[in-house]
Structure 1
Amino acid sequence: MVQLSSKNTLGLALILGSVTAMAPLAIDMYLPSFPQIAQNLRVDTSEVELSLTAFFIGLSTGQLFYGPLSDRFGRRWPLTLGLLLAAIASFLCAKADTIEFLIAARFVQALGVCAGMVISRAVVRDMFNHNDAARFFSLLMLIMGVAPILAPLLGGYVAKFFGWHAIFQAIGGFAFLAMAAVLVFLPETKGANAGVRLSRALHTYVDILKNTAYLRYALAGGAANAGMFAYITGSPFVVINYYGVPAEQFGLVFGTNAAGLIGMTQVNRLLLKRYHFDQVLRVGYTLILLSALAAIMVALAGGPLVAFLATLFMFLASLGIIMPNSTAGAMSEEGERAGSASALTGSLSFWFAFLSSGTVGFIKADSALPLACVMGACALASMAFSYLPSKTVDKATP
């Protein structure tokens, strides 16, 4: 573990935050241009949505490759190659003239983008431990949390003035800049290890899954994250269609809740100066469950918009405690296999998100209750997973 000056810590956070923000940028920045893409490629909007599905599949599966690679060859080169792949694929997306080509390019883009998600967590584990790691993850979320707030707005203006192709050109340019920053400024935090055999990658993942101390953090964090994706999927219908909020004002609701999440990450940093992250996590699990129960009660009672929005705000804010601390907890249990553990953590989280968002999308909702119930199920699962036994299994050679 290392001691960094505040200047060096901020610089490291900016680099890791930038490579991690590639994913929300690549997701949120092109969402406003769906109608324009559909019109230009002469397809239905539903077919354009398949490009987002392909991206999520690439994001959730691609992470599993970078974990063993970064444990075997170090952090810098797999991250650099991933960003290079993301940049090239982004420019290919910009050249797409058929929906099939765009879908394929988006899948490849995700395979590159996910390198930043996996390896940034592993780098933090290499350099920090326990509370220090949790505090750094909170700082990281502050930086990368700006992306989903600004990306739709920025993407909308880029598409309006330059066309949707320019969105992917901008993402590709950002990927090249991030790659340059990694090459110039990011130190190697874990050298190549010839003892890590890529042929045993599957065995390594199975071995990590036997570690209940790791699982209780990874699964609890993944379930909580699934609640956020349920909110992202279902809140437009509830807020716009059910409560009648104008579509142009929905961004304000979304941004306010995102600001609550980001703000709570900084409250979390302050709490970690006095308390162990496990103690702070317990507060987060309690808060997310209570806010979900409150949302269900408001929905059952047909309560007013302001009451339901308040429960959503508290639900999202609780993630500012759960996400950095559960990530730090999971990574602290697998220090020797931080890359593989990071990949598995990210993949589990996205598969949970698939399940929750798919459930919300499948239900034919006519009120706020289905969304509240799915969020409640995620909160309850998060709390339940947090009580898994903490005994750590003996770690086999990776």
Structure 2
Amino acid sequence: MQKFTLMLLSLVLLAPLGIDLYLPTLPDIALGLNTPVSLIQTTIPIFLLVMGLGQLVTGPLVDNYGRKPIALLGLALYVVGSAVAATASNWPMFLSARLIQGCAVCCSAVVAFSGVRDRLSGDAAARAYGFLNGALNIVPALAPLLGGLLASAFGWRAPFWFLCAYGLLIALIVLLWLPETRPADTLRVRGVPLAQYGAILRQPRFLAFAFANAGALGMVLTYVSLAPQVLMNEGGLTPIQFSFAFGANGFWIMLVSAFVNKTIRKAGRPFCLAMGFVTMLAGALLLFAGMHLLPQTMQAHWALYMLPVAVSVAGLAFTVGPATSYALEPYQQQAGVAAALQGFIQMAGGAAGSLLIVMLPVAEKSALALMMLAGAALALIAWRCSRKMHGSLTALK
């Protein structure tokens, strides 16, 4: 099972690598393509929006054709998208590359999360989702530094050639060793299963947990989108210092996720959801306090951004594993469809929420604090829903 989980992790890593590896090179990409850096920054939420929307299509595909073929299709798209980004000569070409990559990672994400649901359930599934989430944070811990070093040595195109090589390597691993886990009694669908999506969306329980994930992701995405401006332009950090600060936060989430995996066994999933609410609320309050209670000369210090962020992103670790397992638990015969819909709400909802918050006419730190509050509110709703659940669950028809 450990080997299987690690292979799923290699697929899930495609998405954060596609975001974090090129963060330190955003100004260089803008200069190289003669495009405003603000346009290059929009490729982060656009990437996630495409990933979320695409899962509505790939969900039925993994149920109809199996997990492994769709994983290979996604990897092929990822390699193509990375190569196009590495050779882009203008903004439309670069944007097209990011759209292709977004389509690719929606395939790999649905395969990974439906694969966990195929093999595990209950607290065991929650721990697996928590492991994937925790291990994912090695990417924000190391990818910006790796991307910065590659760009310094070989130019801004080098990180995308790295992604191309990674995609080829994982495709070989999947082809040779990833087992097909689709259950024999999986319900097949024709086209986009609107009726099935509608039936799942009518379940308040599913919505509560899916939107809790969306709120946590939106909070982290807002932090990631605003971090270069706050830490480098306002806080005075160099690109390398930014990479280390950004990476340290990734290691922190990984440690918290390891703690959460143990906490699930001892205290249960409802307790973890409650802690998600508490930590995101505490992060928002600390951020507001730093903005309004400290002297003006201290407010630009990078630590007054990163410390509240460290508290709040712990809420992501506490929320995602339990919420995902609760959301998908009733859908053993519809794992691909349910995982796709959950992923769509998480990715598209989180990205849309982040975009709306960032577009508000408020300072960057205020925008992040508001998104933290939204994430805390959604985690609170999920916790209250989990408190009402008793006994075991069977598949919903």
**Cα pair 2:118 2:183 within 8 Å, conserved:** no
Q: 1:356: which partner in 2?
A: 353
CA RMSD of aligned residues (A): 2.6
Alignment counterpart, residue 50 of structure 2, candidates 58, 66, 89: 58
CA displacement at 1:103 relative to structure 2: 1.3
How many residues are matched? 388
1:170 equivalent to 2:162? Answer yes
**Mapped contact 1:159–1:166 kept (Cα < 8 A):** yes
2:396 partner letter: K
The answer on whether the counterparts of 2:63 and 2:187 sit within 8 Å (CA) in structure 1 is no
Which structure 2 residues correspond to residues 107-126 of structure 1 after superposition, within 5 A? 107-126=99-118
Distance 2:246 2:72 in 1: 33
Identity of paired residues, percent? 28
Structure 2 alignment gaps of length 5 or more: none
CA distance in 1, matches of 2:33, 2:183: 46
Whether 1:328 aligns to 2:325 is yes
Distance 2:5 2:171 in 1: 15
Amino acid at match of 1:128: L
Equivalent residue, structure 1, for 2:40: 48
- Equivalent residues of 2:125, 2:325 under 8 A apart: yes
Q: Per the alignment, in what secondary structure is the counterpart of residue 88 of structure 2?
A: coil
Candidates 187, 210, 217, aligned match of 1:218: 210
Residues 121-136 of structure 1: pairs in structure 2 closer than 5 A:
121-136=113-128
Matches within 5 A, 1:364-383: 364-366=361-363, 368-383=365-380
**Does 2:391 correspond to 1:395?**
no
- Where in structure 2 are the equivalents of 1:121-270 lying within 5 Å? 121-191=113-183, 195-199=187-191, 201-242=193-234, 248-270=240-262
- Equivalent residue, structure 1, for 2:83: 91
> 2:220 is aligned with what amino acid?
M
Residue 191 of structure 1, CA deviation: 4.6
Structure 2 equivalent of residue 300 of structure 1: 292
Question: CA–CA distance in 1 between the matches of 2:32 and 2:354?
Answer: 28
Which residue in 2 is equivalent to 1:338?
A: 335
Q: Give SS of 2:333's match.
A: helix
Q: Which amino acid aligns with 1:142?
A: G
Deviations 1:279-314 (A, max 9, x none): 332232233223323333333323755565433211
Unaligned runs of 5+ in 1: 1-7
Contact 2:260 2:272 in 1 (8 A): yes
Residue 187 of structure 1: SS of its match in structure 2? coil
TM-score (norm 2): 0.88
8 Å contact kept, 2:211–2:346: yes
